[in-house]
Amino acid sequence: MSFLCSLTETTIIIRSVLIVAILLSIAAAYYIYLPLPCTISEPWKLMFMDSVLRGVMHVSFLAHGLGLTIRVTETSFGGVQAQVFESTAADQEPHLKRGVVYFHGGGWTLGSGKMQTYYLQCWSMAEELDGVVISIEYMLAPEARFPDQYNEAVQASKHILTAEVLSLYSIDPKRVAVSGDSAGANLAAAVAQQMALDNSDPIKFKVQALDFNTPSYQQNGHIPILHRLLMARFWLEYLNGDPRLVTSLLANNHTTPTPSQEIAAAKAKTVWTKLLPVAFQKNYKPLLEKLPGLLDVRAVPLLADMKVLKAVPPAYIMTCEHDVLRDDGLMYATRLEEVGVDVTVDHYEDCFHGCLSFAFGPFGFSVGFRSFRNCTRWLKVNL
């Protein structure tokens, strides 16, 4: 009798476990699945990665001592924290190296150069270029608001572009680049503009490598990794805007019937119907997204005057088809080309926002590695 009771209890437990497992599997599939364009690279891997990032936002650190060709140190430049990745492959034959000042992404509110993806990216870039990559740890919102991040980016760059610092790391003063992805690309472009005009600094950046409401905001509003709603919230955090404005910002209800002269001038520099190739305009209608800080060129390098754009160094701009920021990069490239700046646009039809950061690590994507490889190839030739 006791044997039959025990068997019945075991059966009930097994059935319960199976039912729970099935329900959890259904729930997980529902949470992970997102309808994605058929042209996007490795959709299931992207869905899984996006679900993990949505569920858990954490910073992972890579243990030191992964190899012998890169030396990593933590220091500060002008009071701004940074990690320095130095190639030591040719230390037996001292020579001047390429240098890259890098700003990580994360919507000015998240991220760190110490995150595994950025750590590996900077490590690999230093190794590929046989150079020195300096990853800047600028302050983040909400503890810091615009223009704090911009000021720190400029402050660190000015300190790095001194003969003393460049000599310390054996960096060739004629071969220094500024680079970044997403919000970091925004900072890199703004820094490049400021440093190009600053006559007090004789050493300038040689090139800039950038990975950036337009058609792409509408087309890719719900595509991982950067959703349109999240981007709007990032802007409000960065510019210290009222969080309640997010609905109006997305609905375009915050604009005034009679724009001021300043707004009209800003709009004239961002007319995507003029700046974007027809293939990217598709059937979308213009939207104006207004916030006081969005009229500040330090926050929106795309608004820079022609005389400023003429002074910036040659640019490599990477854009992704399935990215809300696609058109920001394409329009900035067009504005640079219009004033005669040498621009290389590297567009990926199967790419999503931030894929360059997923070239390495547990969520490595083939398109991420492909974009990283092409970017470093361009730097090798042009830096």
Q: Enumerate long-range contacts of 330-335, CB under 8 Å, 24 or more apart.
A: 330/275, 330/276, 330/277, 330/280, 331/214, 331/270, 331/272, 331/275, 331/276, 331/302, 332/189, 332/210, 332/212, 332/301, 332/302, 334/275, 334/276, 335/269, 335/275, 335/302, 335/304, 335/309
CB 329 within 8 A of CB 318: yes
Cα–Cα distance for residue pair 306/281, rounded to 1 Å: 24
Cα–Cα distance for residue pair 111/9, rounded to 1 Å: 50
Catalytic residue among 179, 182, 216, 357: 182
Spell out the residues 6+ positions from residue 277 whose beta carbon is closer than 8 angstroms to its own.
330
Per the annotation, the verdict on 222 as an active-site residue is no
Which superfamily, per CATH, for 71-211+293-382? Answer: Alpha/Beta hydrolase fold, catalytic domain (3.40.50.1820)
pLDDT at residue 27 in the model: 57
Question: Please, which residues bridge with residue 77 across strands?
Answer: 80
CB 98 within 8 A of CB 171: yes
Per the annotation, the verdict on 366 as an active-site residue is no
Per the annotation, the verdict on 211 as an active-site residue is no
For the sheet with 80-87, list strands across it.
70-77, 80-87, 132-136, 97-103, 171-181, 207-211, 315-322, 343-352
Residue in the structure block whose two tokens are 């911009």: 150
Cβ atoms within 10 Å, residue 330 = 23
Task: Going residue by residue through the chain, which has 383 residues, state the pLDDT in tens, using 9 for 90 and above.
Answer: 554 455 566 666 666 666 666 666 665 565 566 666 677 677 766 666 666 655 543 333 343 344 457 899 999 999 999 999 999 875 556 789 999 999 998 888 888 888 888 888 899 899 999 999 999 999 998 899 999 999 999 999 999 999 999 999 999 999 999 999 888 989 999 999 999 999 888 899 999 987 654 455 455 444 455 556 666 777 677 777 767 666 655 654 444 444 556 656 666 666 666 677 767 766 654 434 446 677 788 988 888 999 999 999 999 998 888 777 788 888 899 999 999 999 999 988 877 766 777 677 666 777 788 888 989 999 999 99
Cα–Cα distance for residue pair 196/377, rounded to 1 Å: 24
Q: Find, among 176, 161, 238, the residue nearest to 208 by Cα.
A: 176
Backbone angles phi, psi at 294, to 5 degrees: -70, -10
Spell out the residues 6+ positions from residue 271 whose beta carbon is closer than 8 angstroms to its own.
286
Q: Could you tell me the two tokens for 90? A: 């040719």
pLDDT at residue 307 in the model: 93
Cα–Cα distance for residue pair 243/144, rounded to 1 Å: 16
Catalytic residue among 323, 328, 346, 350: 323
Q: Give ∠ CA 320-324-328 in degrees, rounded to 5.
A: 80
H/E/C letters for each residue in 171-227? EEEEEEEEEEECHHHHHHHHHHHHHHHCCCCCCCCCEEEEECCCHHHHHCCCCCCCC
pLDDT at residue 260 in the model: 57
